[in-house]
Amino acid sequence: MAGTLYVVATPLGNLGDLSPRAAETLKRVSAVAAEDTRHSKPLLHHAGSQAELLSFHAHSSERALERILRILSEGRDVALITDAGTPAISDPGVELVAAARERGIPIVTIPGPTAVAAALSVSGIGGDRYLFLGFLPRKGSDRRRLLSTVASREWTVVLFEAPNRVAQLLTDLAEACGADRPASVSRELTKVFEETRSGTLQELSEHYAEAPARGEVTVVVAGTGKERVEEPSVDPAARAKALLAEGLSRKDAANRLAEETGISRNTAYRLVNEL
């Protein structure tokens, strides 16, 4: 009989937030699959766990995944943890959960801290309905498309960002959503230097441009408060013809087509060159 995979939420920073059930699970399992084993050693020591600590992160090989699945297939229990918060949310744990589910391995959640709920709760912005987008792409048409999604959503949007890119994200959000859109930035949640700053996107952008953020960052952006009206979808082929008819070169037409429709540049070049 297969072991059980426990998906265990761990503290964002304050070890006092580790639940008794989570601590008991970490002590009881045979192995713990962690995003960063060095980071997780103090947590296991705090919980009194002697479990084998295994590395499982975004760049882990297929062999690492199979090793964990083999332990489970032998009837031993494994706990999946991330560096902070709930596993499989903006981290590679989802691959292990999906693989275990495909093999019929029992999976149990040990719920607890999550930066999304924590940031929403102190933002002062409505969280009864919200959209979580995690980390936006750093550049390109995918980033522009998701910025447009943030700008047009009726409900609150929650984002993660690396501290060195927060100022640029806020600048891009202000441009997409409007400078006066309410937002909040939470950093170092539950830690000694926890801070949540609220204001308009313009105000926050200016602040973090002058005083760069440190630590883990969660951004909450207010929605429009209005029902989103979907625009008619654009036929890429028809738009490509129109751009060429305007006198644009094939290269410029393909670039514009990718920006306007969100399709990849390779697809845009192919469409333009087929005309």
Pick the last residue of a domain from 197, 221, 245. Answer: 221
Task: For residues 130-159, give the mean pLDDT.
Answer: 95
CB 80 within 8 A of CB 58: no
Q: Is residue 65 part of a domain?
A: yes
Q: What's the rounded mean pLDDT across residues 224-230?
A: 72
Tell me the pLDDT band of 120, cut-offs 50, 70 and 90. Answer: very high
166-205 pLDDT, tens digit per residue, is: 999 999 999 999 999 999 999 999 999 999 999 999 999 9
Residues 214 and 241 in one domain: no
Enter the pTM of the model: 0.80
Average pLDDT score, the chain: 93
In a domain, 147, yes or no: yes
Determine the Cα–Cα distance for residues 181 and 167; give it in Å rounded to an integer.
Answer: 15
Which CATH number characterizes residue 66's domain?
Answer: 3.40.1010.10
CA angle 259–262–263, rounded 5-degree value: 105
Pair 128, 216 in one domain: yes
Residue 188's Cα: distance from chain center in Å?
A: 16
In whole angstroms, how far apart are CA 224 and each of 83, 125, 126, 153, 205? 33, 12, 12, 6, 19
Q: 178 is in which domain, residue-wise? A: 116-221
The answer to whether residue 69 sits within a structural domain is yes
What tokens appear for 149 in the block?
């999604």
Contact 266, 238 (CB under 8 A): no
